[in-house]
Chain A
Amino acid sequence: MKRLRLIFLTPAAALLAGLFVAPLAILAVYTVLTRGAYGGVSAPFTVENWMRLADPLYLAIVWRSFVVAGVSTAICVVLGFPLALFIARSGARKNLYLALVMLPFWTSFLVRTYAWMFLLRDTGLINTMLLAMGVISEPLPLLYNWGAVIVGLVYGYLPFLVLPLFATLERMDPALVEASADLGAGPWQTVWRVILPLSAPGLRAGAILVFIPCLGAYLTPDLLGGGKTILIGTLIQNQFTSARDWPFGSAVALGLMGLVMVLLWLHARRGGEPLV
């Protein structure tokens, strides 16, 4: 039995060790080396890369990333809570609605982000329609700004909030909602005093699942922000490409990972449920 378990575990363990742990270890070593002239790394060892993270220039980027991720997460919560509640209480159609929530995953995220560009650009669907209807006389600047980035992030990560929240809401005893009404609480008060507190674990899990990828997002800010919007993800990408500063890029990447792990630890400490 024990032997069989070992056999089954080995492929996954080997894959993780080779393709996840080893690269991370290499990355960790990079962070304390000096940048090479044409990329790569060279001696000597230094802690300078970590010190540079405290540079106000980079702190501003980290702060901005937190704000963008925070705003996106907040919008996801505001949109996702009613949606999850609606799906959880829609009886036989539940599975259909869940399938619709997951439908976007059937196509590549890149393709869907390009679709947003076609919608938002000056000659895009929205502007063309508004112009044709005479609502506006010149195109609205919808693309290549923070608004577009947040729209893209909310769109992309909303399902990650809805699914765990739905799971929590569905497990909730419907008699609790009835008991609340029975004791005199109106629908809004029931949401506020019963449903929301009881769905907090799912809400927190969902918020973390949205916040973390938003914090490190690269594709969406790059395409919808038009490169004018530097976030942590863009910063890391720049260090490994145009700036040719692999050690610093590694330090930023590991720093971000550390932050994420602190968030997860806080979630677990508050009795949070597993994220997947």
Chain B
Amino acid sequence: MGHVLELRRLTKRYPGHAALEALTLEIEEGEFFSLLGPSGCGKTTTLRLIAGFETPTEGEVILRGEALAAKAPHERNVATVFQNYALFPHLTVRANIEFGLRYRRGVERSIEPVVEMLQLGGKLDRKPEQLSGGEKQRVALARALVLRPDVLLLDEPLSALDPNLRAQVRTELRALQRQVGIAFVFITHDQEEALSVSDRIALLHGGRLEQLGTPRELYLAPRTRFAAGFLGAVNWVQGVGVRPECTRLSVDAVNGGARCVAATVVSSTFLGNCLHVEAVTVGGERCVAELARHDTPYAEGQSVHVVWDARDELNVPG
């Protein structure tokens, strides 16, 4: 399959700072692609450049082989799900979903399939203010998907939802994307969200592409300290990185195969599903071991050894 969207050295500079610096990406047909990074990393700028709300300082956005530079937002066949959904408050759910239909030629006139898919049948005559957060999000999705865009842009669509709802909705979102087969460009600062839904993730940092890859690649083989730390917790011991879930503790020194460093227990935290024991090595490095909750409890000040397997080390250059 070819790529539907291409960013070529896309750059956005504001007086005094660069929001995005030479980002080059190709997004495949039917792909669930995430732009991940902390606030200010350039992910929202990237989305706004694709949608046409901002003009790039340099570089190009190419949609289905066509450069979009000269096209206004309303002329681009992309659709956005806004962070707070931006539903038109004066229009009913039906009118919101139908809003764009009259402008896109060749789009089927019926909103029924989308309404059914997103289970909005009973809500069509309501106003946005009468909807729950989850329903608003589904209306925003319906309003965009009914236009059959080449790419759907989602700007942190889960952040406005109740935390209890998020995990469920992101699973539904993933299933929806599979069903409609449209490429999704999903913006998030939440690494767990990105890991769980994406085919590929672009990790952005300070306006630059830090690493691009599948969730596995990013989590298991981060190429920078930043990538390692942003995707999950890392212990940095003797120059190598080890995830807490790959870190064990042992009272006695372990010989053969495993790496072993003497340390002193600082604290022990019971988290329900597991136990986090924090220890400081003889080299003064702080590290956390994620242990099964039935493991031996460790006392503060106890002398232990931090143990891990060489194959679990993150090979981060530098």
Contacts and interface: CB of A to CB of B under 8 A. Distances in A.
Q: Are chains A and B native binding partners rather than an unrelated pairing?
A: yes
Given A173-B84, A175-B82, A175-B84, A182 B90 contact: no
21 contacts: A173-B84, A175-B86, A179-B88, A180-B88, A181-B53, A181-B74, A182-B74, A183-B100, A183-B103, A183-B143, A183-B144, A184-B74, A184-B100, A184-B104, A184-B147, A185-B74, A186-B72, A186-B103, A187-B74, A189-B103, A198-B89
Q: Is the interface of B mostly helix, strand, loop or mixed?
A: loop
A182 B103 contact: no
Contact of A182 (B51, B88, B89): B51
Contacts of B90: 197-198
Interface string A10-38: 00000000000000000000000000000
A182 B84 contact: no
B281 interface: no
Closest 6 CB pairs of A and B: A184-B103, A183-B100, A175-B86, A179-B86, A181-B73, A181-B74
Interface string B13-56: 00000000000000000000000000000000000000111000
A70 B73 CA distance: 38
**What class of interface size applies to chain B in its complex with A?**
20 to 34
Interface residues of A, number: 18
Q: Is the interface of A mostly helix, strand, loop or mixed?
A: helix
A179 B144 CA distance: 10
A194 B74 CA distance: 14
Interface of B: 51-53, 72-74, 78-80, 82-84, 86-90, 99-100, 102-104, 143-144, 147
A268 interface: no
Contacts of B144: 182-183
Contacts of A193: 99
A243 interface: no
B39 to A, nearest CB: 17
Given A179-B80, A182-B51, A182-B80, A173 B100 contact: no
A211 B88 CA distance: 30
A173 B86 contact: yes
A194 B88 contact: yes
B30 to A, nearest CB: 21
Given A176-B88, A186-B72, 11 more contacts: A175-B83, A176-B89, A181-B53, A182-B51, A183-B99, A183-B103, A184-B102, A184-B104, A185-B99, A186-B74, A187-B74
Nearest to A197: B90
Interface string A185-220: 111010001100110000000000000000000000
Contacts of B99: 180, 183, 185, 193
A189 B88 CA distance: 14
Nearest to A198: B90
Most interface-central of A176, A181, A183 (chain B CB within 10 A): A183
A179 B147 contact: no
